[in-house]
Amino acid sequence: MNKQQLLNQQAWIREELARCADFWLKNGWDHENGGVYTCLDRWGKVYSTDKSVWMQGRCAWTYSYLCHVYGKKQEWMDFAKSCLDFLETHCINREAGNRMYFTVTADGKPLRQRRYFFSEGFYAIANAEYYGLTGEEVYLERARAAYEIYWKLYRGIGEDPTGMGPKTIPETRSGRGLGLPMIYLNICSVLRRCDPAHAEEYNERSKVCVSDIFTYHYKPEMGCTLENVGPNGEFRGDVTEGRIVNPGHDIECSWFLMEYANHTGDKELHANAQSVFNYAINAGWDNEFGGLLYFIDCKGLPPEAYEHDMKLWWPHNEILIASMMAYRDTGDEKYYDWFTKTLDYCKAVFADPQNGEWYGYLRRDGKPTMPSTKGSTFKGPFHLPRSLIMADQMISQVLAKA
């Protein structure tokens, strides 16, 4: 361990976190309608006023979590509350079983409803985190109601009240996606921390998620974790969808699994979670230009997604969390090497110390797409600040052991 190097890395991370938190407070907060704008250019100027429902929940969670870790600041609390209020007033389809929209206008008129239910998941963690700060029961009630909606849809308990069916005709093809169990596993983790009274339920559902990931998606014989599989985990090697590996998703999943393994004391699960990380980063790292490729084909065949060789911000955020967590937990220097390699890459190509926040979308060679953006419907104050907060905490824990 190079203690001075760790201290230097931590200092940069803290500076970057401050720039990131200020960027969204200054540029994203909609003081007129409430909530957050996330379609921001390099300098923080709004280029589209449509609002992502995911990002209202994610932003509320982030600024609540900042308060949880670093102490309450009124502007952080107020920003989180603004997003929560906007969600409650505008983003819930009351006529469709309280399913949530995907996008709304600046003043909250519904634009899109999507079949998947991640909006509900981010709403759940936002309300739970804010409940943890305030103790106001209404936020816990909202969190648990959304948590239950996600669970029922994930487990196929009843019909989707929106009436939207699966993407494909189920008589022809049905299957499983990695995103559903892995995101719910993280939701369980947040709710368990904020609502320990229901820990038993969160633990039981976490076990289901872990089982689904390893029973169906984890393929050690193939050296990967598959994004999409058949109903019983079947490998569909004859179609591109069946061969997709999303290395960033797998790496994010790996630290969700490590976190749960630490909670339960399950060393075997932790070792398997490390394998998920190892497979993903070894297959996905671009040895020519650096950084993590967005999609790869597990057979080395052409990926269908146009953006497959781009470098996106969030997979690199997940590497920072997962590699530092694995290093903290195992002491294996290879994980610290991945952390340092990734941090150096991010400093060189993603970070913008003059304006704050990170570029979201880079070409394979590491140059920002033109015109460069700091936010979009899918990019807001979540992956980056979460990774910086967690890396800061974990570096402190590593240094405390030294």
The string of pLDDT tens digits covering residues 257-274 is: 999 999 999 999 999 999
- Indicate the domain borders of the chain: 198-351
Across the range 338-344, mean pLDDT stands at 98
Q: Which of 255, 180, 245 is nearest to 212 (CA)?
A: 180
Banded model confidence at residue 44, pLDDT cuts 50, 70, 90? very high
d(CA 375, CA 28): 9
pLDDT at residue 163, as a whole number: 87
233 has pLDDT over 90:
yes
402 has pLDDT over 90:
no
What is the average pLDDT score of the chain?
97
The enclosing H or E element of 110 equals: strand 110-112
15 has pLDDT over 90:
yes
20 has pLDDT over 90:
yes
pTM for the full model? 0.98
Q: Is 259 helix (H, G, I), strand (E, B) or coil?
A: helix
pLDDT at residue 1, as a whole number: 79
Measured in degrees and rounded to the nearest 5, phi and psi for residue 111 equal: -115, -50
d(CA 17, CA 388): 6
pLDDT at residue 84, as a whole number: 98
The string of pLDDT tens digits covering residues 48-84 is: 999 999 999 999 999 999 999 999 999 999 999 999 9
C-alpha separations of 203 from 190, 322, 390 in Å:
11, 21, 22
169 has pLDDT over 90:
no
DSSP string, 305-317: -TTTT-EEHHHHH
Banded model confidence at residue 248, pLDDT cuts 50, 70, 90? very high
Half-sphere exposure (CA, 13 Å, Cβ side) for 337?
Answer: 6
* Residue reference for tokens 């002491």: 331
Class of domain 198-351: mainly alpha
Token readout for 378 is 């899918």
The string of pLDDT tens digits covering residues 372-384 is: 899 999 999 999 9
291 has pLDDT over 90:
yes
Measured in degrees and rounded to the nearest 5, phi and psi for residue 228 equal: -130, 130
The string of pLDDT tens digits covering residues 127-146 is: 999 999 999 999 999 999 99
Banded model confidence at residue 166, pLDDT cuts 50, 70, 90? confident
Token readout for 196 is 């320990």
